[in-house]
Structure 1
Amino acid sequence: MKDKLFKGVLLLASCLIILLTAGIIYGLVSQSTAALSEFGIINFITSGEWDSRNDVYGALPFIAGTMLTAILALLFCIPFSLSVALFNGEYFRKKKISTIVSSVVDLLAGIPSIVYGLWGFYVLRPVIVDLGINDQGFGILLASIILAIMIIPYASSLSTEFISMVPNDLKEGAYSLGATNQEVIRTISLPVAGSGIFAAYILAFGRALGETMAVTMLIGNTNNIPLGLGDTGNTMASIIANQFGEASGLKLSSLMAIGLLLFLITASINFVAKYIMKVINR
Structure 2
Amino acid sequence: MTATSLTSTQGAGRAGDKVFSGAALAAGCLILAVLFGVALFLVVQAIPALTAPADEIQGGAGFFTYIGPIVVGTLIAAVIALVIATPIAIGVALFISHFAPRGLAAGLGYVVDLLAAIPSVVYGAWGAAFLAKEISPIYNWLADNMGWLPIFQGPASATGKTILTAGIVLSVMVLPIITSLSREIFLQTPKLHEEAALALGATRWEMIRMSVLPFARPGIISAIMLGLGRALGETMAVALVLSSGALTASLIQSGNQTIAAEIALNFPEASGLKVSTLIAAGLVLFVITLAVNMLARWIISRHKEFSGAN
Q: Using the alignment, how far apart are the partners of 2:290 and 2:232 within structure 1?
A: 11
1:256 and 2:286 are equivalent in the alignment: no
CA spacing shift, 1:242–1:162, aligned 2, 3 Å: same
Q: Using the alignment, how far apart are the partners of 2:49 and 2:130 within structure 1?
A: 40
Moved more, 118-127 or 200-209: 118-127
1:109 and 2:132 are equivalent in the alignment: no
Q: Which residue of 2 aligns with 1:44?
A: none
Q: Which residue of 2 aligns with 1:43?
A: none
Among all aligned residue pairs of Structure 1 and Structure 2, give the percentage whose two residues are the same amino acid. 39
Q: Which one of the candidate residues 22, 43, 54 is aligned to 1:8?
A: 22
TM-score by length of 2: 0.84
Alpha-carbon distance, 1:208 to partner: 0.3
Q: Which residue of 2 aligns with 1:34?
A: 48
Q: Using the alignment, how far apart are the partners of 2:62 and 2:194 within structure 1?
A: 60
1:166 and 2:189 are equivalent in the alignment: yes
1:20 and 2:3 are equivalent in the alignment: no
Q: Which amino acid aligns with 2:242?
A: I
Moved more, 139-148 or 84-93: 84-93
CA spacing shift, 1:244–1:183, aligned 2, 3 Å: same
Q: Which residue of 2 aligns with 1:73?
A: 81
Moved over 4 A (4+): 54-57
1:196 and 2:219 are equivalent in the alignment: yes
Number of matched residues? 271
Q: Using the alignment, how far apart are the partners of 2:209 and 2:25 within structure 1?
A: 42
Aligned 1:48-127 pairs, distance under 5 A: 50-51=58-59, 57=63, 58-92=66-100, 95-127=102-134
CA RMSD in angstroms, aligned pairs only:
1.7
Alpha-carbon distance, 1:8 to partner: 1.6
Moved more, 131-140 or 76-85: 131-140
Q: Which amino acid aligns with 1:10?
A: A
Q: Which amino acid aligns with 1:27?
A: F
Q: Which residue of 1 aligns with 2:265?
A: 242
Q: Which residue of 2 aligns with 1:187?
A: 210
Q: Which residue of 1 aligns with 2:135?
A: 128
CA displacement 1:180-216 (0-9 Å, x = unmatched): 0010011111011111111100100110000000000
TM-score by length of 1: 0.92
Structure 2 unaligned segments of length 5 or more: list them. 1-14, 141-155, 306-310
Alpha-carbon distance, 1:56 to partner: 5.3
Alpha-carbon distance, 1:55 to partner: 9.0
Q: Which amino acid aligns with 2:168?
A: I
CA spacing shift, 1:115–1:104, aligned 2, 3 Å: same
Q: Which residue of 2 aligns with 1:274?
A: 297
